[in-house]
Amino acid sequence: MSLTRTRTAVGSSTSLTDPVRFPRSAPPKVRTRRAFVLLLMTLLLPGSAQIVAGDRGLGRRALRVTFACWALVLLSLVLALADRSLLVGIVTHRWWSLAIIVALLGIALGWALLFVNTLRLIRLPLLDRAVRPAVAATMALLMVLTSGSLAYGAYVLGVGRSTVGSIFSSGPAFEPVDGRYNFLLMGGDAGEDRTGRRPDSISVISVDAGTGSTVTFSIPRNFQNAPFPDGSPLQQVFPDGYSCGDECIINSLYTEVTQNYAELYPDAADPGAAAMMDAASGVLGIDVQAYVLVDMSGFEQLINAMGGVTIDVGGWVPITAAEIPGTDPVRHYPPDGWIAPGVQRLDGYHALWYARSREFVTDYHRISRQQCVQQAMIAQLDPATLITRFQSIAAAGTQIVETDIAQDQLAGFVDLALKAQGQSTRRLTIGAPDFGTVEENFATYPDLDRVHSRVRTMLAEDVADAGAIRPLELERAGVVGMLPAQDTGSGITEQYLQELATIGDDATLSELLDDNGECSPA
């Protein structure tokens, strides 16, 4: 019996001198080292500090959660490499995303409680007074980096979930046609001086479903005699196409259908957009499957949310001033400013005017600039920009973007967009300079057979070149050509251009500004 008691006493004495579980008898330097080691263990392997120095039951439960989280992270990495669209689908799914948000918040709270418990195990009163603030500050910093980051991630995912739910529809998914997805992209303008919204920027983005290779077809706003494909309800109203003269330019179709023929599209949330899809399908001879409408009045906010957009702007571009009352034809006061040639980082205000200005030049100059803005936005809206500016981009998107793309199909299109980045975009304008000249009035009297033939040729060339990774560059009708560097030292100054505008020398201005459509994403 005596020997047994002695061994027990010795064992107890030994355990009480263990500096990890019983720091009271340890030297001050050992206590300090122990404090930082426990914090590091909670950072790298939550629950391990409790296993070695505290409640082993709590530590085991925390470790099980930790290992489960690491397994999910590894699974996510595998999915990102093997099936990226599935991973994006989980993150954007309305219920799975909610589950992830709840899980992130739960892990953030649990990790924070483990740090608090670790601080209890450290026993601040046993540390030197000079060391205590450093230990407390370190723990606070680690809590911000861990629990704070997870909570912020849950918040960002919640913002994204709300944004996706606000912008994308709950309708059915659609399959590619002839291996391609065809989207109608419109820039709508509902200014105070206009009746209804008019899509002044009209493009069809055709994307190869396998490679992400992209072709952009731009339709001038003043395009006339647009036909409608078989099965379109507008064929009964306009059997010969949208052909009532100058009143029937294609961008007026949106307002016309919205106000007078909405009942022809009973299942469409936006009858005007559905009608524009039919018209674009008829003009190009392809099946346009979905639309994205960007309200140009909010375009400025979106560009600012991105932090601006960088473009080699080509020639000088005027910022149009107000109309002079009583003038017929309409004239404007001298420009409010000018966008200079060369590579420019444009904020929202200047990017909007760069895309919409057509004073002293033609619609085709503006179309070219709009194409450059679209390409630059695609190229520059990279993951780093999305992560750092996600909240402001999402807030802008819910206010200015409307689409009939189904939310459940978003994952596949995000994956397709990632494939498209870094590839060149072929571009074709259904008018000058790709079809005739401005003087030939191709947009008024279009040769649709010729258009359909060129469109088919471009899509066939795109398939032949599928997977080729080339730098973003200006392309016309599939012919690639890099623009020469802009000469900003040509002697033309903003003051000189403003003087010409003041005296009304439009002829000279038109000649000097003829290169302001020769742009490219920078």
More confident residue, 474 or 323: 323
**SS3 for 350?**
helix
Contact indicator for 51, 60 with CB cutoff of 8 Å:
yes
Phi/psi for 320 (5° steps) reads: -65, 135
High-pLDDT (> 90) share of the chain, %: 45
Q: How many whole angstroms from its chain centre is CA 153? A: 18
Of 258, 270, 186, nearest to 221 by C-alpha is 186
Contact indicator for 207, 416 with CB cutoff of 8 Å:
yes
The alpha carbons of the chain give a radius of gyration, in whole angstroms, of 31
Please give the average per-residue pLDDT across 184-204, as a whole number: 72
| Residue 173: per-residue pLDDT | 81
Of 380, 221, 354, 249, nearest to 299 by C-alpha is 354
Alpha-carbon dihedral 447, 450, 451, 454, rounded to 10 degrees: -160
Residue 163's pLDDT band (boundaries 50, 70, 90)? Answer: confident
Please enumerate in sequence order all residues whose Cβ is within 8 A of that of 48, keeping only pairs 6 or more positions apart, or say none. 41, 42, 59, 63
Of 417, 515, 522, nearest to 473 by C-alpha is 522
pLDDT tops 60 at residue 387:
no
User: Residue 448 class from Cβ within 10 Å (0-12 exposed, 13-18 middle, 19+ buried)?
Assistant: middle
Question: Lowest mean pLDDT: which of 109-118, 127-136, 365-374, 418-427?
Answer: 418-427
As given in the structure block, the two tokens for residue 18 are 């263990």
CA distances from 399 to 170, 198, 427, 461 (A): 18, 17, 28, 37
The total number of residues shown for the chain amounts to 522
Query: What's the mean pLDDT when you consider all of the chain?
Result: 83
- Report pTM: 0.69
pLDDT tops 90 at residue 50:
yes
pLDDT tops 70 at residue 136:
yes
Please give the average per-residue pLDDT across 448-455, as a whole number: 95
Contact indicator for 490, 482 with CB cutoff of 8 Å:
no
| Residue 419: per-residue pLDDT | 78
Contact indicator for 362, 438 with CB cutoff of 8 Å:
yes
Please give the average per-residue pLDDT across 334-359, as a whole number: 91
Of 186, 181, 210, 218, nearest to 199 by C-alpha is 186
Quickly tell me which residue has 């072929």 as its tokens.
426
Question: Lowest mean pLDDT: which of 81-95, 357-371, 471-485?
Answer: 471-485
User: Residue 51 class from Cβ within 10 Å (0-12 exposed, 13-18 middle, 19+ buried)?
Assistant: middle
| Residue 459: per-residue pLDDT | 92
Enclosing H/E stretch for 137: helix 132-143
For residue range 144-162, list pLDDT tens digits in order.
Answer: 999 999 999 998 888 878 7
Question: Lowest mean pLDDT: which of 217-221, 238-242, 286-290, 326-330?
Answer: 326-330
| Burial call 256-277: b when 16+ CB within 10 Å, e when fewer | bbbeebeebbeebebbbbbbbb
pLDDT tops 60 at residue 474:
no
| Burial call 454-468: b when 16+ CB within 10 Å, e when fewer | bbeebbeebeebeee
Of 121, 92, 99, 144, nearest to 408 by C-alpha is 92
| Residue 104: per-residue pLDDT | 95
For residue range 394-429, list pLDDT tens digits in order.
Answer: 666 666 778 888 877 877 787 787 777 767 788 898
Question: Lowest mean pLDDT: which of 318-322, 394-398, 484-488?
Answer: 484-488
Contact indicator for 93, 410 with CB cutoff of 8 Å:
no
CA distance 175 to 413: 12
| Residue 217: per-residue pLDDT | 94
Please give the average per-residue pLDDT across 61-87, as a whole number: 89
CA distance 348 to 227: 35
| Residue 518: per-residue pLDDT | 85
| Residue 61: per-residue pLDDT | 95
| Residue 399: per-residue pLDDT | 66
For residue range 301-311, list pLDDT tens digits in order.
Answer: 888 888 888 99
Other beta carbons within 10 angstroms of residue 235's beta carbon come to 16
Parallel/antiparallel/unpaired status of strands 425-429 and 214-218: parallel
CA distance 56 to 375: 57
Question: Which DSSP state fits 442?
Answer: T
| Residue 82: per-residue pLDDT | 82
* DSSP-assigned letters across all residues of 263-308: GG-TT-S-HHHHHHHHHHHHHHTS---EEEEEEGGGHHHHHHHHT-
* DSSP-assigned letters across all residues of 368-402: HHHHHHHHHHHHH--HHHHHHHHHHHHHHHHHHEE
CA distance 288 to 180: 10
Residue 382's pLDDT band (boundaries 50, 70, 90)? Answer: low
| Residue 9: per-residue pLDDT | 42
| Residue 46: per-residue pLDDT | 95
| Residue 370: per-residue pLDDT | 84
